[in-house]
Structure 1
Amino acid sequence: MMKVLVLAVTLALSAGVAIAQVEGPRQTDALVGVSAKGDQIPAISDIRIKVNGKEEKLTGWSQVPASGVQVAILIDEGLRQSIGTELNSLQAFTKELPEGAQIYVGYMRNGTVFTAQSFTTDHGAAAASFRLPLGSPGISGSPYFCLSEFVKHWPADGSRPGARFVLMVTNGVDPYNGSTSILNQDSPYVEAAIRDAQRAGVAVSSIYFGNAGFRGERASFSGQSYLTQVADGTGGHALYQGTGNPVSLAPLLSEFRKTISETYVASFVISGSDKKLQRVQAETSLHKVKLSAPQSVRPGNLEGISAE
């Protein structure tokens, strides 16, 4: 009986140590976008990181290397067929990404993402994988279900670690949250997608493009509102021109490429369970410099940067 009791106590103490290790101080990374007017390049001394309102010391601040990124382009299968005139823009964008950048192309359908091209540094192969979406109303299910599924199971086959970026081309409407009314813009599915992306350390940007099944200003407003929420929550950017489809995707894709090149990795040490997100703010003392960062981070999340 005594041996059993001693064993039980030993196991309990071991479990307690394991829990303490998980919840103790942990190196944590966050992607921070820098938009500067002029040639200002922020140094580590120009940046402040606050976690749950408390300033934390930065242990690292480095620009993401051009060849150290993973870019996943997710296209809504429900887009209008007019997106076909923009396939050349998507192909050109893919080919113009820096050598060594890993590119993934997938199509959002029925709540998941179907791979057209797994992560590859062969930009020509990635460009060749673009096709017309099916154009069936509602076929994507919800772009936010698709996003959650994708970031929680980030493809690893054929890829190496890198700073993670997603570009969604979608109308952004959440058909499972009911009305697209301005009074109904709090979707639990959008919030879940934001949290999942934050846990994975993924910056999610988007280009608004109309869907075959949703038309009108209310749908445009609702979709753009949700896409902005996702971008703000993850440190990405919502890219659109007014409430209609963009005249051309080319300038928006160019802007997205620029945001990747202006992204830094901020490193700091925080405590807490890796199961619970921590609120984070990125600030700078530089004038005419704007930062974009996720609103929450997962303790222990590391941006695996490779410059090979």
Structure 2
Amino acid sequence: MKMRELLVAAVCVSAMGSAAMAQDGAVPSQSIVTVMTKGAESQPTLDAKDFKVQVNGKTAQINSVTPLRGDRAGLEMVVLIDSGARNSMGRNMEDIAKFVQSQPLSTAIAIAYMQNGRAVFATPFTSDKLAALRGLHLPGGVPGESASPYFCISDLAKQWPSNSRDVRREAVVITDGFDPYNPRFDPDDPYLQAAIADSVKAGIVINAIFWHDQGFASRTLRGTDTGQNLMSLLTDATGGNYYYQGFSNPVSFVPFFEDLQRRLNNQYELSFSAPFKGNKPDVASLKVKLDVPNTKLTSASRVFMLPGAVPVGQ
């Protein structure tokens, strides 16, 4: 949703409700949620009353629920590949290419690689899928070439090559998630937390596929488990999904991409206003519940709050 539309939505409540929420210091925000119907391909019809939202434990007022399809289907997607990944990924290159080619015209794609702590783009955003695929190649396969995947994800968020807020932002990250700068499972890993905060601030949903790096530590059971757990925290925080099959490289990416496509086709923009203390932009905890039978909700656990947003015309 455009910022202009977001601000309009934030003030399009009853005068009484607006006055009450203004007293509580309500701040408008939004989040992407995925709602899958169990046992059916049909997309549910959802309304604001179906959701309950809390920000930092405080109940939020839901302003709108917008299906992200039709004229709101716009999507910017980056496929970010770890340059230290094992070259045996070659057998999965065709899976990646077919996924990219299957995207609709409303999706702009860019291919990037993790290199020395940065997200290095091989192609810019383009709706021409064949042009995007010119940047797809085997990773370098050099141990430690990415530095840390979390450095690279932070860089991706900070340097997202588009200023458009009219469309969703999603990334498909292919890496083992192991952080050589903090080689143990630590939910408070500062590099992980920075990647979460930067992604949430940039409004990016991070999806990830597990693939072993060439490094020795990430090939151990402990290293693999550590990387998978850290990456799960990142995808959960941003509202994405993490794909892996045990501790081994998956034989095929196809089932992962098929599931991801279903998720992309069943996403909604949830706009809400929540009481929020402080006058500085910050990342807050988010809890979303959905009261609709036979559905499964995937939502972010973090949200970016921007105090001081001025309604249009004021």
Q: TM-score range by the shorter chain?
A: 0.7 to 0.9
> Contact conserved, 1:68 with 1:163, CA < 8 A, in 2?
yes
> Contact conserved, 1:42 with 1:286, CA < 8 A, in 2?
no
Residue aligning to 1:15: none
Aligned length: 276
- Give the secondary structure class of the aligned counterpart of 1:29: strand
> Contact conserved, 2:31 with 2:269, CA < 8 A, in 1?
yes
Residue aligning to 1:119: 125
2:105 to 99, 102, 118: 99
Residue aligning to 2:222: 218
1:43 to 43, 46, 63: 46
2:167, 2:134 → 1: CA distance? 23
2:174 to 154, 169, 184: 169
State the Cα distance separating 1:274 from its structure 2 match: 4.9
Larger displacement relative to structure 2 (202-211 or 255-264) = 255-264
Letter in 1 for 2:177: G
Residue aligning to 2:7: none
Letter in 2 for 1:267: S
Residue aligning to 1:53: 57
Residue aligning to 1:286: 292
Letter in 1 for 2:154: S
Letter in 1 for 2:33: V
1:101, 1:224 → 2: CA distance? 28
Equivalent residues in 2 for 1:195-274, closer than 5 Å: 195-213=197-215, 214-272=218-276, 273-274=279-280
Residue aligning to 1:77: 83
Residue aligning to 1:11: none
- Give the secondary structure class of the aligned counterpart of 2:305: coil
What is the CA deviation profile of residues 171-208 of structure 1, one whole-angstrom value per residue up to 9, with x for unaligned ones? Answer: 11000003x4x5x5542211111111111121111000
What percentage of aligned pairs have identical amino acids?
A: 32
Larger displacement relative to structure 2 (186-195 or 103-112) = 186-195
Equivalent residues in 2 for 1:22-41, closer than 5 Å: 25-37=26-38, 38=40, 39=42, 41=44
2:144 to 138, 148, 168: 138
2:83, 2:52 → 1: CA distance? 41
Which runs of at least 4 in structure 1 moved beyond 4 Å after TM superposition? none
1:160, 1:177 → 2: CA distance? 34
1:148, 1:167 → 2: CA distance? 14
1:233, 1:255 → 2: CA distance? 19
1:111, 1:259 → 2: CA distance? 29
> Contact conserved, 1:185 with 1:222, CA < 8 A, in 2?
no
Residue aligning to 1:108: 114
Query: TM-score under structure 1 normalisation?
Result: 0.84
1:201, 1:293 → 2: CA distance? 13
Cα-Cα RMSD? 2.1
Letter in 2 for 1:54: K
- Give the secondary structure class of the aligned counterpart of 1:264: strand
1:68, 1:35 → 2: CA distance? 19
Equivalent residues in 2 for 1:139-154, closer than 5 Å: 139-154=145-160
State the Cα distance separating 1:52 from its structure 2 match: 2.0
1:55, 1:34 → 2: CA distance? 21
Residue aligning to 1:87: 93
Larger radius of gyration: 1
What is the CA deviation profile of residues 259-292 of structure 1, one whole-angstrom value per residue up to 9, with x for unaligned ones? Answer: 1111110001235445222221110112332222
